[in-house]
Every structure is written in structure tokens, then in C-alpha cells.
Chain A
């Protein structure tokens, strides 16, 4: 059984859910990204690591449509797509949870989950009941159980709970790829564990999860694979199970730009 499964899913032929090929982006004279390849498969957590200025945020913003890339292709679900703005990304099912979470503290959990996409009738009247029902359903499916009332303002939630709300909002819209920018940066130990469990949960539900983090401990706890960027270039892609923190740290600080076997862009085209 396990054998058969392993045979039908050899890593090399799985089509990535989201893939970028040869992405370059410069800001004036500064080359932020140079010929970067990146991919995430459905059902996996792909960590994106690198030192400050390595190009992680730039790459994410290119994928999310906040920046337009100077060169490069984006493939989604095996088809080439173009992303000109955040709306294109959202239409494909790519959601980004930024570090500041973008929650309105004065609104409650349901109101934040539906912010800007409220269910309403032709008069603009809000339909609270279905929104509340769907919110609690979504949070339950993510096994977020620590929020006692989804009608309390987000201001009264803990950091981990706020992160859960932001993630819940991202996945509620039939999204297929969720990009998390430093989700554990401001959290304590228990809260971090809670959020990492949630991250794992997302991948287990079949979403492609991109996790940006400075914390290698967190990365090794949930990631399936790890992409390392250095000075705007690819330096390595590791299988979590076959690497060590030392190896990753070495790649982050002294990695040599290279394109890793198995991610050669010419192959599938």
C-alpha cells in the first residue's frame, strides 16, 4: 500500500501547483531577483528562506501581483498564466497572509473574515447568519478551537488567534496556494506551536503552502521542502528529511548560485 503510493508519486514528475521560472526583478540599479525558479506542490509546505535582502518578499510580491516581474513565467496548475495585479492572483486562488495580518481590530472575527467580501442582498443588507455559520465552519475545519466567541473584536484575541483568523480568511475563498509571511515572528512558544499545527493542517487539506520564515526551527518542524535564496538567486532546494539545519544555514550564508536538478525549467516545457 505504502509502496504503491510511493511509486505513483515519485517526486520528479509531480506537476507543481504553482511554479515560477526565471523570474527577474530590479528596482533601478538593484537586481532584487535574478532568474529565480520556485515551485510549490499541492499538499506540501514549501519553506522559503534566506537572509535579509535575499529576495523572499520580492518574489512573493511578484507572485501576489503587488509587483510586476521584469522577466519570467508563472505556471499555475500546469498552465502558463499572467499576473498583472492582486486581483489576478486572487482569481487563481493565491492568497497571501502578510506579516501585519491586515485585520481591523475594532471588528469581530466574522466581520474580519468577510472584510470586503461580505454576503449581502441587492439593498446592501448584510446577511450575518450565513457569514457567521460559514466562519465557524471554516475555523472548525482548521481545528481552531481556542477562540471562545467569533463575535468578539479581534483586538481581544491573542497573537496566535489573530494569526489563525488571518489564515482562516485566506483559505475560506477556495484558495489553492496560501503564502504565509513570517507567521510566527511575533509569537511565544505555545502560540507558535498552535500556528505551525495550523500550517500543517492547510497542507494536509491539499493546499500548496509557502512559508516564509527566519526561524529554521519552525521551518524544520513543518516544511516538506526548503527553497533557499541568496542575493536574489536560487542557491538550493532541500528535502527536509534529507538535510540538516547546518546545511541550510550554510546555503543561506554562503550558498553558490545554482539551479537544482529536478527543477530544470527546460524539461516540462
Chain B
């Protein structure tokens, strides 16, 4: 009965698969490229490295890749929000380093301020969120350009890290809870159970959405397409877990990343807060006139940026089992911003998705991992990543111009 209804709906002319494909094609021609370039690019990169070195696609390398990219992806999620506003946050890398330092300091055994690992993590990310709020206040209330505020933050927090661990140079992390963040792998059964639970949740959420639209008598998405997407997601989820199970198992760090992605996607696309972030990024004056408190939105977004940088810093510290003077240094800042941009989030504000943090980090980490595997130097890695970044921003600029031309 319901299935028959569904079938009848699916073949309705205005909503048929053919019609959807046609609309998608029109949007593509108008410059709305979506995730297509990144998927094609990623497939090309994977194919290239597999052709060069068969070890690239082994389960061992796959689990490596997942833990390697967890930190950058987490930080890049915060970057996506900042970019959606059309702002920038250059302080994220050293703010993440600050979180690492705080966590490390708070777990020093028999230290005067030793706390449980989980409490240490909580304190660290709360403080980095406050750092974000402070920097955001300069941008939102005083109107100082975010580039300058966060550039000052970059210098300041680097100084703080050097000041705190300057003498000993490195703090070893011995707390098991903290280290497990990046070094725990689920057993085969636990991994499969998580995959099953995740798939069930997604299916339930989708079904609730369809039913709600039915109840209000508005057109539902093509049900075949919805079912197809669900099957695809389930396949990817179970595939990843089964693949990882060939080796050490599914890493906790990546599960944390997935939870962040789902949660922040929900915030960005399903809540009034997220809607207002897109509105401020698209047309701040229109948002202000619509009664949106744009100062509060700006401060909150920089807070998210600080929070996610903090979580990223904890993941990095856990992976190394220590923090040292290099915490937050190296290419971390540029990797995190590039990840968001390569993933398809516009630097001009208002366009992009939280998922782009994952897509971009996947590209950057895959290239890095592959080049390491082939034994090339970092020189090559930098050049390739730079070229990809330029290509991504160029594509964004062109697609933006075409979208503007289409509007008439």
C-alpha cells in the first residue's frame, strides 16, 4: 500500500529521476558545481597513487590515513564556519597547540593541578572556545578586520606555547584517556555495531523528514533517490569499517570526527543559528535588517572556530603522546584552511558545507600520504598541494561569477 504510493510518487513527472538529473545538469551549467570536482579529483588522486604503489590501498594505510587526517578535519570544521561568514581565522593552528599544552599540563602525574583526562580535555577546549570568543569580539564589536585580529592571535598564542613549555621543551602525556583519543581502535564487532547504529539513525532521520513533508502536503524528494542515497551511505559506512577491520580496526579518532561532522552539519543546515550564519555571510546588511543579531553570530562563530581548534589540538597531542615546541606549527594552519577551501567552501562567504572540511582534508591527507609512500620529499608535497589549492579557489571564483551571470 505505502510502497504503491511511493512508486506512484516516484514516477510523478515533475519529480522523476530524469527531471532531477536534468535540473542538476542545468545547475551545473549555471556554475553550481557542488561536490562534483572534489569527487572526481579524489578518484583521480587515488587511482594515480594506486598505480604508482599498490600498498596505497591496503587496510593498514587506510587506518593510518584516517588517524592522520582526524586532527586537520576537526580544525577545518571550525574554519568552514568562519569562511561561511566571509571572515578568516589565522590563529587556529596555535590555538590548537594551546589546547594540547593545557591538556598536557593538566595530566602531569602528581602535578599540583592534575585532573582526570576527560576533565583536562573539557577544560582545554572550553578555554580555546573562550579564546575564539575574545578574538571574535574584536571583529564583531570593534570592527577590527578578522585577518589582523587572528594574525595577532597567531603570534600571541605561539608565544604563549613557547613561554609555557620553553624550558623542558616537551611534555609527555601518560594519561590513558587522552592518549586513547587518537590511539584506540574498536574491535571488529564494536566497529560493525557502530556502523549499524549510524546507518539506523540516518535512515530514521530521513524517514522522519519525508513523513513531515507528507504531512504538510508539500512535494517530497524522489523516494528512489532518497533510498539510493541511504544505500550508498550504508555501503560506505560498512565498507570503511570492514576494510579497517582487516587491520587494527576502526579508529576512535575518526568516529569522533564523524560525530563532529554530523553534529555541525545539523547545526549549519537544520537550526536557526546555522541559517543566520549563512545569511550574515551572504548579505550582512539584509540579515541585520531582518532582525538578526549579527554581532552575536560573529562572536559565536569565532567561538566554534576556537572550540574545534581545541579539539583538533587534543587529537594531535594524543597522537604524539606528547606536546613539544612545534605544537600548532608547521603546515597545520594552511592545511586546515586549504581543506575547507578545497572541499568547496567559498572564501567569499555564504556558500559551503561542513562536509567540505572532510572532503578537503581527504584530498590533502591522501596526497600527503601518497607522496610519503612513494618516497618523494616534502618539496613535492608542497608543490602539489599548492597547485590543488589554486585549482580549487579558481573553480570557486569562476563558479561564483557564472552564478551571478545566471541571475537575470
Residues of A within 8 A of B (CB): 86-87, 98, 100-107, 111, 115-118, 120, 123-130, 132-133, 136, 149, 153-159
Contacts and interface: CB of A to CB of B under 8 A. Distances in A.
A111 B275 contact: yes
Q: Does more than half of chain B's interface fall in helix, strand or loop, or is it mixed?
A: helix
Given A126-B272, A128-B213, 17 more contacts: A87-B291, A101-B286, A102-B289, A104-B286, A104-B350, A115-B287, A116-B276, A116-B292, A124-B271, A125-B270, A126-B271, A126-B275, A129-B215, A136-B218, A154-B407, A155-B406, A155-B407
Interface string B77-111: 00000000000000000000000000000000000
Max chain A CB contacts within 10 Å: which of B30, B281, B407? B407
A105 B287 CA distance: 11
Contacts of B270: 125-126
Given A104-B286, A116-B290, A158-B408, A125 B215 contact: no
A139 to B, nearest CB: 13
B279 interface: yes
B404 interface: yes
Given A106-B281, A155-B406, A156-B30, A116 B287 contact: yes
Contacts of B275: 107, 111, 115, 118, 126
B34 interface: no
A87 B282 CA distance: 23
B272 A104 contact: no
Interface of B: 23, 30, 212-213, 215-218, 270-273, 275-276, 278-279, 281-283, 285-287, 289-292, 350-351, 403-404, 406-408
13 contacts: A98-B289, A102-B286, A103-B286, A104-B286, A105-B407, A107-B278, A107-B282, A117-B291, A124-B273, A125-B271, A129-B212, A133-B218, A149-B23
Given A104-B283, A106-B351, A118-B272, A156 B291 contact: no
B408 A115 contact: no
Contacts of B281: 106
Contacts of B351: 106
A104 B271 CA distance: 17
A104 B279 contact: yes
Contacts of B278: 104, 106-107, 111
A111 B276 CA distance: 10
A228 to B, nearest CB: 29
Given A125-B270, A157-B407, A159-B408, A106 B282 contact: yes
A153 B276 CA distance: 15
Contact of B271 (A115, A116, A120, A155): A120
Nearest to B403: A155
- Minimum-distance CB pairs A-B, first 6: A116-B290, A104-B282, A106-B282, A106-B350, A102-B286, A129-B216
B24 to A, nearest CB: 12
A188 to B, nearest CB: 10
Contacts of A155: 403-404, 406-407
A132 B408 contact: no
Contacts of A154: 407
Contacts of A87: 291
A104 B407 CA distance: 13
A115 B218 contact: no
Given A129-B212, A133-B217, A133-B218, A115 B403 contact: no
B374 to A, nearest CB: 40
Nearest to A111: B275
Nearest to A114: B275
A157 B404 CA distance: 10
Contacts of B283: 102-106
